[in-house]
Copies of this chain bind each other. A is one copy, B any other.
Amino acid sequence: MPGNSFGRVFTVTTFGESHGRAVGAIIDGIPPNILLSENDIQTELDRRRPGQSTVSTPRNEKDRVEILSGVFNGITTGTPVFLLIKNEDMDSSEYEAIKHLYRPGHADYTYTAKYGIRDWRGSGRASGRETAARVAAGAVAKKILREEGISIIGYALEIAGVRAMKIDFSQIEANIVRSPDAEKADQMVARIEDVRKKGDSVGGMVEVVVDGCSPGLGEPVFDKLDALLAHAVMSVGAVKAVEIGSGIEAARMRGSSFNDHFFIKDGQVRTKTNNAGGILGGISTGERIVLRAAIRPPASIAVPQTTVSTDGTEETIEIHGRHDPCIVPRVVPVIEAMMAITLADCLLQKKMYC
């Protein structure tokens, strides 16, 4: 499988380019007899959709999803679900002018090196637009997880150096940067606006927590749950680091403070702390799963940059057009989606051994 599929039993295969006719996904391995509607998916797509706020790109894609198979009378049948999202508001003209240049921070050069050809319209397959298909598939995964009592909540922990100081889930969708701290949200927005005016961009940190996971998810050795999650999340283009639980801080802790002590609560084995982030030996403990991802600043900026052309001459490039000055708010549902797909996959695998 050359890279466009993810998952072993709950398997998502995607296709589509930014300025092609559509993006979409086939999901194989969906259990039968689950209620599934286009609206279930649309809700998630709307969270990722361009043009949703003043801090995102003004490209106006409706991102309407159509379910073309696998659902009969509103219920999954166990056959593949195909999700189609047509591209509508495309404008390739800005790309025409710079199609001979390798944009810094983009995949123009590496795709050319690998394939000898690239679809230069809107970054082609390497575009963030490809993640619409992931979010659609993730919405289906979330449905499966919800039936098992598993919830996935993500938010902007930090943007442009401004860090949320309190985590209030009810605030996340109430501000345009998906900050769990309403007060810091305003500062985050201000910073984004500031860099946007300068034609620049900023990054941040996304944190996602998973509650309700029963113990026993994840496979040993190579397919540890944390390894699968790292794979899933690092496959999102803008991610440069993934932390589980205490993450980087674990490197500076002692065993006596890092180890989470077990105790019994309501007849369940629980841990007093959660430095492990809900995973021990690659298998879920039943505690909250905690993952953080570092999001780099978007590569498309109006600031002049030096680069080279496809024929090897050095030039200066300025990238104008409809770009996100900060991708963090829109990447939150993408990371949630990848984690949902991973967990749904593990959940089905676990059932094999019941």
Instruction: Tell me if A100 counts as interface (CB < 8 A to partner B).
Output: no
A240 and B243 within 8 A (CB):
yes
Interface residues of A in 200-231 (CB under 8 A from B): 200-205, 215-216, 218-224, 226-231
- Do A308 and B263 form a contact, CB below 8 Å, given A105-B280, A298-B255? yes
Instruction: Tell me if A307 counts as interface (CB < 8 A to partner B).
Output: yes
Please tell me which one of the listed residues B14, B31, B200 contacts residue A256 in the complex, with CB atoms under 8 A apart. Answer: B200
Tier of interface size on chain A: 35 or more
A244 and B243 within 8 A (CB):
no
- Do A256 and B70 form a contact, CB below 8 Å, given A3-B28, A353-B114? no
Per the bound structure, the CA–CA distance linking A15 and B280 in Å amounts to 20
Interface of A is mostly: mixed
Please tell me which one of the listed residues B115, B242, B254 contacts residue A242 in the complex, with CB atoms under 8 A apart. Answer: B242
Chain B nearest CB, measured from A261 CB (Å): 5
Chain B nearest CB, measured from A177 CB (Å): 14
* B-contacting 9-mer, from A45-53, A79-87, A145-153: A79-87
Q: A14 contacts which chain B residues (CB < 8 A)?
A: 26, 80, 221-222
A242 and B245 within 8 A (CB):
no
Please tell me which one of the listed residues B115, B161, B204 contacts residue A353 in the complex, with CB atoms under 8 A apart. Answer: B115
Q: A248 contacts which chain B residues (CB < 8 A)?
A: 205, 240-241, 243, 248, 294
Per the bound structure, the CA–CA distance linking A204 and B248 in Å amounts to 9
Pick 20 A–B contacts, CB within 8 A, sort by A: A9-B349, A23-B69, A110-B216, A110-B280, A114-B215, A202-B255, A222-B231, A222-B232, A227-B231, A230-B233, A240-B246, A240-B250, A251-B295, A258-B297, A259-B301, A261-B305, A262-B306, A272-B306, A351-B353, A351-B354
